[in-house]
Chain A
Amino acid sequence: MINQCFAYEYVYEQILRDIENGELKENGYLLSEKEYCRKFDVSLTTVRRALERLRAECIVEKIKGKGTFLSSKVRCVCCPPNRYIGMLVLSPSEQNKPGSRKTKYVNMYAHNIYKSIFRELNGEYNLLIDTIADDEVEKRFPSSVLSHMDKLLLMGETRRSVVEYLHGQGKCVVVYNYFEPDVQVCRVNNDERRKFGEVVGQFVKRGHSRIACINGTNNFSESLERYMGYQDAMILNDLYIDARYVKWGNMTPEDGYDLTKELLAVDPRPTCIVCINDGVAMGACDAIADAGLMPGRDVLVSGHDNALGDNYKYKFTTIDPLYDNVGKIIADKLRRTTWIDDETIQPGTLIFRGEDEEKII
């Protein structure tokens, strides 16, 4: 789950496991620092670093003189094997159109995560998988099997109201790639902001400064997170963010196509386009080609998801979220019996693709 490079990380993992297994003192108190030193045969500094990390993640709280205890974020839940786990892909209702390229695109990433979770859970749990418009969750929840899922994984365009509603129903929820601040929920995220910044950095490194961005919907936290990565890197590199270079769309290949046409009409036209995902990047490449330019040479394009590998007819850079790892982390969280609304970050991998260049960064 987490790289075990340092002793404190090992201790952190072990204490976390103790918490998950309910191995605590009365009233949710953890062992004392000295007891942990003895238990793991490590120094007091190591134990304190581990506990500090747990505290920073709001998994434990500390009262001077009393000790360390589980925070209110941590709940005990019972989900033994053979119980039910619901996995939902959420999308705004107006986009939930079967058969569109959007749907097929979304399905590619969801498929990879399902596969990984299925493999990790080894058939121990029953999975219910559905794609649902976000505004239907509340409507359907009381009268559908969703209400009897023991745990729920949410993916796609998850809004705060959906998370809050499900929490209100007492559900244990894991959300993938959810960046809404101030919402207490178990998250598994990629390092989206950093990676989008790195993409811009790579373009700058190759001498580009006219870097445009096609984002997703601006009320969707994942989309904002990625845009902020773009923004960070532009500022860091002393580049002016031209408002004409920033577009907001619906994350579909069709939008990628239409918005790229608008970008190409700007004078001077951008030489790079950072797209919210590979679907938008596909549409962007098509528009660039239709304008008589060569994607990957005349205009560099980037996406996210590594959904197509290098199988698309045009080269574009992408970020691989490493779905196998993501699925494994999610599976670990879904199967645990002590629920913690914590966050785990899975770093993605940047795969740079240009006309004559392909490398993993």
Chain B
Amino acid sequence: MQNDNFIPFGFQYYRAPTPKADKWERDLKKLKADGYNTVKYWVQWRWNNPEPDRYDFSDIDELMDIAHENGLKVVLNLILDVAPVWLEEKYPDVAMITNRGERLYGYATECRQIGGVPGPCLHHADATRLRMEFIEECARRYANHPALYVWDVWNEPELTVGLRREPHVEDLVCYCEHSVKEFRAWLKNKYGAIEKLNEVWGRNYRSFSDCEPSRRRGTTMDMADWRLFFCDTVTNDMKLRAAAVKKHDSAHPVMCHTVPPPLFNSVTCASDDFALSRIGDMVGNSVGSCSLAAGILASAAKGKPVINSEIHAVPGNSLNGFHRPTLTDLLRHIFIPLGSGVRGFMFWQYNPEKLGLEAPAWGNLDLKGNSAPWDEQLQKIVKFVLAEKDALAAPRPQSARQVGVFLDAACEINAWNASFGTDVYNNSLLGGFKMFRSSGYDVGFFSRAEIESGEIYEYKVLYFPAALCLDTRITEKIAEFTEAGGTVIFEAYAGMTDADTGMHCEDLPGCGLADLGGIHVREIHATTRIENGYDNVLHNAAGSHLLPFTYKGRKLAGAKYLLAYNADEGTEVIASFDGGLPAVYAKKSGKGKIINVTTLLGYGCHGYAEANPSELLYDLCGAPAIEWKKDLPYGVCVDSVEGTDLWVAYSEEDRELEFTLPWKARDEFGTAKVTKKGFALPPRGIAVLRKTQ
């Protein structure tokens, strides 16, 4: 395993059939000469295994050698979602089947021009055997190649490679006989007895072989199970892939690179960053340049090396052209992840695409092979970062991650199922994260597994955005966490569905949280259904999902729902809407406390440009671990690049923000304005600051 202070910095280079072979030598020489050190090649099942018993790796062989000759390291990205034509001839039942009965097979897309998308059903045993044989063949062939850096065994794990990524119920996959059979076995493993499943689903099945996959929304846990089954499917497939490589190569690390939520959702993509990250030696992601993506990955990685595997700096397509990255864009791609512990950067891609609708975008060169105008700036950044490589590559702990945000597939599926949309979960997650980040806290993420295992004790505060589907075990663990001194914050509808019974809870917050939090639901209001005239909050919100309120003179907002509660003795109202209806309750619990927000606070703060919940959060959770961050304006994040004297200051707001640091600093790229107070960031600006005193 590579342990030197190597920080990969480079590009995706080869996705057969482009670039053509006559450009390889020229491009890779230039890439190295320009200061980059790593390239990524796709090894595609359809392309490199053109006949059942014949592999043709001549292109990869040559590319590996060119990389080695030029001192470049290679990420080998194994692409199995492009099934060979012969596979279907051999196994006609290999295709995924959608809910509406459509066979998904053999598509060519803008990002898989050679066809074969989305590959076989992941439950087709023969196809799985053949996919693993392909991986083993690759591992045998390149295990000892001196250019090999890492095996990236899954590019953006999901089910349909974007064919059916939008979560429409009729597009869900896969309803083929193999998947249904596996699903029934999965249910048996989960529930043990059919009677238990019948209780949770509300059915009267005679045995597990009667169980039907969910086909429409309207019921709860059958849909949740059906989609969670696919999350496990993707995770299990990753385990098989990693094992297939390790059989022949235990020296090189194995990883996959995911796409974080909300871009990939649990309903149709079934990619669980936490579960996938537990499998490999390293982790990576696409579009990981924002603090949310970097934060999710760093949390899921649990100390494993993390790379930003696929930076989309030059997106575009044939008729719309492409985005030309500015210095600010490039700095954000590199330094925001760097401040979150990411230690590797691969751009998509070196040559612009020439085949298909992604042409002429995505390249760091122009169509003729010359450097693009922004490349000079990128090279400067690369040199700057690599000059710090000894300090950077040495692993450092993350900054104290004071706040953990709950990331959960079951809640996401449940929110989609209940709300007929993705906004409830996604906006709550995005806003929940942003509230804390923009208030100066270091924020990580945790999943259901971390609640079970006790790994939540890494955090001092837990935030549950739109946590609609919980169970009483979670409540017990939360009670223990607060008893031991932690703070826990729930939004409206927490624990609405009890996953253990499948039922809507009789009290809200549900699953026993009502007693724990000392509140009991009285009435439920929604911005889309104003029936009650006693409170002016909802009337004010008519036509909008936002529910603004103020706290110590600061504006903030909830969204969509407003639950009125009866409070137990000892439960305190911390903040209220203008009409007097409580917005935030708090109750002491052991050494810690439990907070209940009566609305979707994350959603509101995501959508309300004037929102500033920092005062509320400081009162609820205490000051940020690095106390001077409390004095930063809401929206300015300042992260230490651990191991160096660099700090990254960036803004998520669309307005200029001035801030002061407690020490003197030099703006390394001159992207901030120097003011009397310190610095000012332009809208969505970034500055790389070196502490000088």
The interface of chain A, by Cβ under 8 A from chain B, is 82, 84, 89, 98-99, 104, 107, 110-119, 122-123, 126-131, 139-140, 142-149
Q: A145-B398, A148-B395 are in contact. Are A130 and B486 (CB under 8 A)?
A: no
**Contact at A140–B397, with CB atoms within 8 Å?**
no
Q: How far is the CB of A308 from chain B (nearest CB, A)?
A: 12
> Which of A82, A110, A129 is B400 in contact with, Cβ under 8 Å?
A82
Cα–Cα, bound, A110→B449 (Å): 13
When the two chains form their complex, are residues A115 and B396 in contact, meaning their CB atoms are under 8 A apart?
Answer: no
Given A140-B281, A143-B395, A145-B396, does the pair A123, B485 have CB atoms closer than 8 Å? Answer: yes
User: Cβ of B655: which chain A residues have Cβ within 8 Å of it?
Assistant: none
> For the complex, what is the distance from the CA of A117 to the CA of B486, rounded to whole Å?
12
Among the listed B235, B394, B397, B486, which residue makes an inter-chain contact with A118, where contact means beta carbons less than 8 Å apart? Answer: B486
A98 and B275: CB pair below 8 A?
Answer: yes
Residue of A nearest to B250 (CB): A139
Would you list 11 pairs from A and B whose C-beta atoms are within 8 A, ordered by A residue? A89-B453, A99-B232, A107-B454, A118-B485, A119-B484, A127-B457, A129-B453, A129-B455, A131-B453, A145-B303, A148-B397
B454 and A146: CB pair below 8 A? Answer: no
A interface footprint on B478-494 (CB within 8 Å = 1, 0 otherwise):
00110111100000000
Q: Which residues of A contact B460 (CB under 8 A)?
A: 123
Q: Which of B3, B395, B453 is the one whose CB lies under 8 Å from A110?
A: B453
**Is B395's CB under 8 angstroms from A144's CB?**
yes
CA distance A139 to B250 in the complex (A): 11
Q: Which residues of A contact B397 (CB under 8 A)?
A: 84, 126, 128, 145, 148-149
Residue of B nearest to A126 (CB): B400
Bound CA–CA A129/B235 (angstroms): 21
Residue on B nearest A87 in the bound complex, by CB: B457
Interface status of B112 (Cβ within 8 A of chain A): no
A residues less than 8 Å from B454 (CB atoms): 107, 110-115, 129
A89 CA / B302 CA spacing, docked (Å): 13
Alpha-carbon separation in the docked complex, A107 to B460 (Å) = 20
- Residue of A with least CB distance to B401: A126
* Interface contact B1-A139, CB-CB below 8 Å: yes
Q: In terms of DSSP, what is the predominant structure of the interface of chain B?
A: loop
- Alpha-carbon distance between A111 and B456 when the two chains are bound, in angstroms: 9
B278 interfacial by beta-carbon distance below 8 Å: yes
Interface residues in B467-510 by Cβ distance below 8 A to A read 477, 480-481, 483-486
**Which single residue of chain A is at the shortest CB-CB distance from B459?**
A127
Residues of B within 8 A of A111 (CB): 452-454, 477, 480
**Is B30 positioned at the interface, with any CB of A under 8 Å from its CB?**
no
Can you name the residue of chain B whose Cβ is closest to the Cβ of A106? B453
Specify which chain A residues have a CB less than 8 angstroms from the CB of B398 in the assembled complex.
Answer: 145
Q: For B2, B275, B485, which residue has the most chain A Cβ atoms within 10 angstroms?
A: B485
B394, B453, B460: which has the most chain A beta carbons within 10 Å?
A: B453
How many angstroms between the C-alpha atoms of A110 and B304 in the bound complex? 21
Report how far A99 CA is from B235 CA in the complex, Å: 11
Cβ-defined contact, A143 with B305, below 8 A: yes
* A113 vs B275: C-alpha distance when bound (angstroms): 23
Determine if B625 is an interface residue (Cβ-Cβ < 8 Å).
Answer: yes
Residues of B within 8 A of A126 (CB): 397, 400-401, 458
Partner among B395, B449, B455, B483 whose Cβ is within 8 Å of the Cβ of A147: B395
Q: Which residues of B contact A (CB under 8 A)?
A: 1-3, 232, 235, 275, 278, 281, 302-305, 394-398, 400-401, 449, 452-455, 457-458, 460, 477, 480-481, 483-486, 591, 625
**Contact, CB under 8 Å: A148 / B396:** yes
For the complex, give the distance between the alpha carbons of A143 and B5 in Å. Answer: 9
For A145, the chain B residues whose CB sits under 8 A away are 303, 395-398
C-alpha gap A104/B477 in the complex (Å): 14
Q: Report the bound CA distance from A123 to B481 in whole Å.
A: 12
Among B278, B303, B477, B483, the residue within 8 A (CB) of A140 is B303
With known contacts A114-B457, A115-B457, A128–B484 Cβ distance under 8 A: no
Given contacts A115-B457, A147-B395, contact A142 B3 (CB under 8 A): yes
B431 to chain A, nearest CB (A): 26
CB–CB A122/B485 < 8 A: yes
* Residues in B neighbouring A99, C-beta threshold 8 A: 232
Given A143-B395, A145-B396, A115:B303 Cβ within 8 A: no
**Cβ–Cβ < 8 Å partners of A131 in chain B:** 453
- Least Cβ–Cβ distance between B399 and chain A, in angstroms: 8
A61, B166: Cα distance in complex, Å: 71
Q: In whole angstroms, how far apart are the Cα atoms of A112 and B1 in the complex?
A: 34
Give the CA-CA distance A113 to B400 in the complex, in Å: 21
Of listed A89, A143, A149, residue having the most chain B CB within 10 A: A143
B513 to chain A, nearest CB (A): 19
Most chain B beta-carbon neighbours within 10 Å: one of A99, A107, A123, A130: A123
With both chains docked as a complex, state the minimum distance between the C-beta of A118 and any C-beta of chain B, in angstroms: 4
Report yes or no: B304 in contact with A144, Cβ–Cβ below 8 A.
Answer: yes
Do the beta carbons of A118 and B484 come within 8 Å of each other?
yes
Chain A residues with Cβ below 8 Å from B477 are 111
Residues of A contacting B305 in the complex (Cβ-Cβ under 8 angstroms)? 143-144
Q: Which of B232, B394, B400, B591 has the most CB of A within 10 A?
A: B400
- Tell me the complex Cα distance, A158–B360, Å: 55
In the complex formed, the residue of B with least CB distance to A131 is B453
Taking CB as reference atom, which chain B residue is nearest A138? B1
Which of B1, B401, B449, B481 makes the CB contact (< 8 A) with A115? B481
> For A142, what are the chain B residues with a Cβ–Cβ distance below 8 Å?
3, 395
A129 to B449, CA, bound (A): 12
CB neighbours (8 Å) of B1 from chain A are: 139, 143
Chain B nearest CB from A105 CB (Å) reads 11
Per the bound structure, the CA–CA distance linking A126 and B453 in Å amounts to 17
Give the CA-CA distance A107 to B396 in the complex, in Å: 26
Contact A128 B395 (CB under 8 A): no
The one of B483, B484, B591, B625 that contacts A82, using a Cβ cutoff of 8 Å: B625
What's the least CB distance linking A268 to chain B, in Å?
Answer: 32
User: Cβ of A148: which chain B residues have Cβ within 8 Å of it?
Assistant: 394-397
Contact between B457 and A118, CB atoms less than 8 A apart: yes
B455 in contact with A114 (CB, 8 Å):
yes
Q: Which of A112, A116, A128 contacts B303 (CB 8 A)?
A: A128
**How far apart are the CA atoms of A247 and B577 in the complex, in Å?**
65
Kindly state the separation between the CA atoms of A55 and B2 in the bound complex, as whole angstroms.
44
Besides the known contacts A126-B401, A144-B304, 9 further A-B residue pairs in the complex with CB atoms under 8 A apart: A107-B454, A110-B453, A118-B457, A123-B485, A127-B457, A129-B454, A143-B2, A143-B305, A145-B395
> B275, B303, B485: which contacts A130 (Cβ < 8 A)?
B303
List the 9 shortest-distance A-B pairs measured between CB atoms, nearest first.
Answer: A111-B454, A119-B484, A114-B454, A145-B303, A144-B303, A114-B457, A118-B457, A129-B455, A107-B453
Report the separation of the CA atoms of residues A7 and B452 in the bound assembly, to the nearest whole angstrom. Answer: 43
Alpha-carbon gap, A171 to B278, bound state (A): 24
Q: How close is A293's CB to chain B, nearest CB, in angstroms?
A: 21
How far, in angstroms, from A25 to B485 measured CA to CA in the complex? 39
Residue of B at shortest CB range from A83?
B397
Chain B: which residue is nearest A132 at the CB level? B302
Residues of A within 8 A of B3 (CB): 142-143
Tell me the complex Cα distance, A49–B278, Å: 51
The distance in angstroms between the C-alpha atoms of A123 and B460, with both chains bound, is 7
Q: Which residues of B contact A130 (CB under 8 A)?
A: 302-303, 455
Find the A residue at minimum CB distance from B279: A98
A123-B460, A128-B458, A149-B397 known; A116 and B484 CB under 8 Å? yes
In the bound complex, CA of A114 to CA of B232 (Å): 27
